[in-house]
């Protein structure tokens, strides 16, 4: 049992013992009051007094026992708390641990590719992070790397998956390290640069996990234009609500063509991917030779 769990159990026992002690004290007080009342009234014999006191004490004892036996109410859970937990795969964890160690001992990434020391380790390899978490929703934990010890062009975040059939680790997804994962398999990836005319919305791309290929596939991108930022040439004919912002939706990964829409249509497009999905909270750890020991 962990330290936190031990402390919680200890606190619960202390509360229960405190409640029992308070109940015993109340019993003594009530018995004394009833006895004093009967004696003062002069109309109650010893036999009758004992019978009445016994009845009250038995009633209080039964009530306290029922309260102690009643099950504790469970706190309400959110959809993210009730999601299917990932399977514990010892072989995968051992493979991930060895892959992290190889970053430092063999200068290779988890998928076996060589690390460019001049790009990633020249500054000390600091600021990078890792996590083990099921982000694609397949019920198995993946290894995540968030690498920022490089130039902007070299920064990345990768999702690695362990293949139990081959005993190897493969990269199933990579993007700029500004990713939000959802438990419905969607990954929202913000762009490294915002070179358009939008200030209210940072452009991003949506990907979705495909279990058949064990990879993420492109689903669409969005950019925007704010009239206050660049009024000349602003396509007012698409600004139906008159808020001065229009959106460009791209359905091909090369983004050669786009559909210009207003705010309501953009929100409908976004909801078609995110509705029903909960953001996954990832517990990142610093990537160094001490923290990688699992």
Residue 84: helix, strand or coil by DSSP?
coil
Q: Which residue has the higher pLDDT, 31 or 172?
A: 172
Tally of CB atoms within 10 A around 93 = 15
The rounded radius of gyration (Å) of the Cα atoms in the chain is 32
Q: Are 216 and 184 in contact (CB under 8 A)?
A: no
Query: What is the largest distance, in Å, between two alpha-carbon atoms of the chain?
Result: 102
pLDDT on residue 86: 56
Give, as one character, the DSSP assignment of residue 287. -
Place of tokens 């009758």: 48
> Phi, psi (5° rounding) for residue 130?
-145, 165
- pLDDT over 50 at 47, yes or no: no
Q: Does the structure show a pLDDT above 60 at 40?
A: no
Taking only the tens place, the pLDDT of each residue in 115-145 is 999 999 988 899 999 999 999 999 999 999 9
User: Which two three-digit tokens encode residue 290?
Assistant: 């001490």
Of 156, 224, 212, 216, give the one whose Cα is nearest residue 182. Answer: 216
| Mean predicted confidence (pLDDT) in 261-270 | 98
Give me the pLDDT at residue 5, please.
36
Does the pLDDT value for residue 55 go beyond 90? Answer: no
- CA neighbours within 13 Å on the CB side: how many for 10? 7
What phi and psi values does residue 106 have, to the nearest 5 degrees? Answer: -120, -5
More confident residue, 34 or 118: 118
The pTM of the full predicted model, rounded to 2 decimals, is 0.70
Strands in 245-250's sheet, in edge-to-edge order, are 179-181, 186-190, 204-210, 215-226, 245-250, 259-261
Q: What is the DSSP string of 242-267?
A: -SSEEEEEE-STT----EEE-HHHHH
93 token code pair? 């964890």
**Average pLDDT of the chain to the nearest whole number:** 80
On the question of pLDDT at 46 being above 80, the answer is no
Amino acid 88: pLDDT: 59
Contact criterion met (CB below 8 Å) for 121 and 149: yes
Question: What is the rounded CA–CA span in Å between residue 84 and residue 81?
Answer: 9
Q: Where do the H-state alpha helices sit in 42-86?
A: 46-69
Confidence class of residue 13 from pLDDT cuts 50, 70 and 90? very low
| The pLDDT of residue 6 | 35
Residue whose tokens read 């698409």: 238
CB hemisphere CA count around 267 (13 angstroms)? 4
Residue 294's pLDDT band (boundaries 50, 70, 90)?
low
Least reliable range by pLDDT among 13-17, 44-48, 59-63, 169-173 = 13-17
Q: What's the rounded Cα separation, in Å, for the pair 217 and 74?
A: 39
């Amino acid at each position: 049992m962990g330290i936190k769990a031990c402390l919680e159990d200890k606190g619960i026992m202390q509360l229960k013992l405190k409640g029992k002690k308070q109940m015993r004290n109340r019993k003594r007080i009530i018995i004394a009051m009833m006895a004093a009342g009967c004696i003062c009234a002069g109309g109650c014999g010893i036999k009758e007094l004992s019978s009445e006191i016994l009845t009250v004490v038995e009633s209080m004892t039964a009530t306290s026992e029922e309260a102690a036996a009643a099950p504790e109410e469970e706190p309400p859970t959110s959809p993210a708390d009730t999601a299917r937990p990932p399977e514990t795969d010892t072989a995968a964890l051992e493979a991930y641990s060895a892959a992290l160690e190889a970053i430092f001992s063999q200068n290779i990434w988890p998928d076996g590719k060589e690390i460019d020391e001049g790009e990633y380790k020249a500054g000390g390899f600091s600021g990078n992070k890792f996590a083990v978490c099921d982000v694609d929703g397949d019920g198995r934990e993946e290894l995540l790397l968030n690498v920022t010890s490089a130039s902007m062009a070299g920064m990345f975040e990768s999702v690695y998956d362990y293949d139990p059939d081959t005993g190897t680790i493969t990269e199933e997804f990579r993007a700029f390290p500004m990713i939000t994962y959802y438990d419905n398999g969607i990954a929202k990836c913000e762009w490294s640069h915002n070179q358009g005319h939008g200030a209210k919305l940072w452009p991003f791309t949506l990907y979705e996990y495909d279990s058949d290929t064990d990879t993420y596939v492109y689903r669409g991108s969005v950019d925007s234009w704010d009239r206050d930022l660049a009024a000349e040439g602003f396509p007012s004919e698409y600004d139906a609500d008159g808020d001065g912002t229009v959106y460009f939706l791209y359905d091909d990964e090369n983004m050669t063509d786009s559909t210009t829409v207003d705010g309501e249509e953009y929100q409908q497009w976004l909801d078609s991917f995110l509705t029903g999905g909960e953001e996954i909270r990832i517990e990142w750890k610093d990537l160094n030779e001490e923290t990688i020991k699992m």
